[in-house]
A and B are shown apart, each in its own frame.
Chain A
Amino acid sequence: MDEPTAELLGEILGEVLQEAAFLFVEPAEEAPAWPDRVLVAEIAFESLRGGTLRLLAPPAVGIELAANMLGADPADPEAEENGRAALSEILNMLGGTFVTRWFGTKVPSQLGLPSVRLADPRGRRAAACAALARTEAGHPVLLELDLG
């Protein structure tokens, strides 16, 4: 079993955002200019190896995800109310896609329940394996992997 790569994370990030929420992203190279507060979603997984997947995005991305997933206008209060839940559900799908893609479907795997919090992204330690992307509106989206 090869170690997971940033390419694998970038691939599943693009696929899930597009299929679940019609959000198109492009891989990004340079460090993003994060806003003061970002949504940080985390989900633990267990299989042949355990670890945590973490998804970081500005609140505006959560709102866009919710609007697209619910078929609502981004200005609709329903989209704003559901931004965190939308990011959480996207990470849930990313988690399932990641474990079945990395470990395969023949190996038992288990996901924890996702959690989402608002945090200051400045000064945070970068994960060894991560994929950074940018939405069409220019917002950064980062998917990180920590192996246990």
Chain B
Amino acid sequence: MALQILVVDDSPVTRKMVRRAIGLCGLAVGEVFEAGDGVEALRQLGAHPVDLVLADINMPVMNGMELVERMSADPALARVPVVVVATPMSEQRIERLLDIGARAYLAKPFRPEALRDLVLEILGRGGHHG
């Protein structure tokens, strides 16, 4: 089955960039949903079950840190892996993100192959490699 992915970033350009990377990285992908902040992301997750969330941290309304915390606290969403796709940050901040439930961190800018390798590692689904 193709992956359903939610991309969360307040920058429309970045959402499109991430979409482009998803398209180029060779994964079998179904629908890609988008949200501009954490609140919108939770709304999208309520409407569309996804296999993976790619989320920025530095966002207005509800940032990525709070989104990860909310998802981890919700039994229906805690199983959905979140990869934080954000600008370079301190080790302490990355550790905090992993502590509260994020599965991995990918620094922007990134290459599509880096995204593919990370997703395959997290989902353990070699069969999705198209």
Contacts and interface: CB of A to CB of B under 8 A. Distances in A.
Interface of A: 16, 19-20, 66, 69-71, 82, 85-86, 88-89, 92-93, 95-97, 99-101, 103, 105-109, 111, 113
Interface string B2-26: 0000000011111011001000000
Contacts, number: 68
A106 B92 CA distance: 7
Interface residues of B, number: 21
A108 B13 contact: no
A48 B89 CA distance: 14
A93 B109 contact: yes
Contacts of B14: 89
Interface string B92-130: 110000000000000111000000000000000000000
A89 to B, nearest CB: 5
Interface of B: 10-14, 16-17, 20, 58, 60, 86-93, 107-109
A23 to B, nearest CB: 12
A79 to B, nearest CB: 10
B88 A97 contact: yes
Contacts of A19: 109
Contacts of A89: 11, 13-14, 17
8 contacts: A20-B109, A70-B13, A82-B13, A85-B11, A85-B12, A93-B87, A107-B90, A113-B60
Pairs of residues from A and B, 8 with the lowest C-beta to C-beta distance, nearest first: A96-B87, A20-B109, A96-B88, A85-B13, A100-B88, A19-B109, A89-B11, A105-B91
